Amino acid sequence: MEDNLQAAASTATISTTNWILTISALLIIIGLDFAWAVSRRNKDTSLKEATAWSLFYVSLAVAFGLNLSQWLGAQEQKEFFAGWLTEYSLSFDNLFVFVLILTRLKIDKQKQQLALLIGILIALVLRVIAISLGKAAIEQFEWIFFLFGGFLIYTAITLFMENSHGDEEEEESKIIQYLRNKGLKPFTIALLALGMTDLLFALDSIPAIFGLTQNVYIVITANIFALMGLRQLYFLIGGLMARLIYIGKGLSAILAFIGVKLVFHAFHAVDVHEIAGWKVPDFTITQSLTVIVTCLLVATAASLISTRNTAKKLAE
């Protein structure tokens, strides 16, 4: 409960100047990235280029998080890293669907870069709207944490039970077929499909990050930093994605943990701190960050170890 009180109090300490400087800096970076993508729209994205940009965005997010304590506090710093890691890891599922969409529509590799960037810009706008609506709902109805928590637990169970992305592929196929029937061109369909796909993923990611922090500044910046590097990550991990076979299990564990945390927080929000003599726990952000990092590391390590023989065969 102390963590949540600190998070709520910190929101008021974020000055208008900090908001303006942060958003302006991020818009400039996004603008430069957009200009770069447009200038190279007729060229293939090399592994070297994708690696350089991915490292740049990851370094940028880490630098931002490390310096966040300069105008906020250590608590918000931990909240940012927990939120950014969660959103960034959830974006792996986005990337898988992006691959399906662009492959199915047979978008040229040269045009994929621009399609991804425009789709991600659409996603940024949709995320800001979703975050604003989510924050308004939380301020008006604290019991909504029960709904958020229950939804995340349900999503975690569903994700854990999935053995493949077959259902998602079928769903995307129906969307694409509908848009084709409307006479739209493949590139336009790709943009709309990418935007709609991310809107669906926002239903998971927005409640998840609100389970870690209620500070809108942290929520928005964590989402922006997670989305900004998606385009480069798409070209970088195309082959690696096939090896991360357990990343979905890791994500389901993270979502389940945050869902349970939200339900516990909801009980505290309605002044229920004890149930049948059992004290309702309230996880700290440090504990949350530890769980998130551990789940990601275990899932990644298990995936790479399990598929190492496959990787050797492909190399041969």
Provide the terminal-to-terminal Cα distance of the chain, rounded to the nearest Å. 55
What residues does each domain of the chain span? 2-315
Residue 175's pLDDT is 63
**pLDDT in the model for residue 306:** 87
208 close to 292: Cβ distance less than 8 angstroms: no
Q: 274: which DSSP letter?
A: E
What's the pLDDT at 273? 84
What pLDDT is attached to residue 114?
A: 74
**Whole-number Å distance between alpha carbons of 133 and 303:** 37
The type of residue at 48 is K
Tokens (6 digits) for 12: 């008021």
- Rounded to whole angstroms, the Cα distance separating 236 from 221 reads 23
Q: What is the CA radius of gyration of the chain?
A: 20
Question: What pLDDT is attached to residue 274?
Answer: 86
What was the pLDDT predicted at 61? 92
Taking the C-alpha atoms of residue 152 and residue 156, their distance in angstroms, rounded to an integer, is 6
The H-assigned helical ranges of 68-165 are 74-104, 109-140, 144-161
pLDDT tens, the chain, 316 aa long: 444 434 444 444 677 888 888 889 988 988 887 787 777 767 777 777 778 888 888 999 999 999 887 888 888 899 999 999 988 887 766 676 677 677 777 777 667 777 777 777 777 887 888 888 888 888 787 788 888 889 889 888 887 886 544 455 555 566 667 767 777 788 887 877 777 777 777 777 788 888 888 888 999 999 888 888 777 777 776 656 667 788 788 888 988 998 898 899 888 878 888 888 889 888 888 888 899 889 989 988 998 888 877 655 545 5
DSSP assignments along 154-184, one per residue: HHHHHHHH-SSSHHHHHHHHHHHHHHHHTT-
How confident is the model at residue 11, as a pLDDT? 44
In the prediction, which pLDDT does 96 show?
66
Quick one: tokens of 59?
A: 């370094």
Going from the C-alpha of 59 to that of each of 35, 53, 66, 201, 226, the distances in angstroms are 21, 10, 10, 25, 12
Phi then psi for 59, rounded to 5 degrees?
A: -60, -40
Instruction: Give the per-residue pLDDT at 52.
Output: 84
Q: Token pair for residue 37?
A: 């993508």
Residues 219, 131 contacting (CB under 8 angstroms): yes
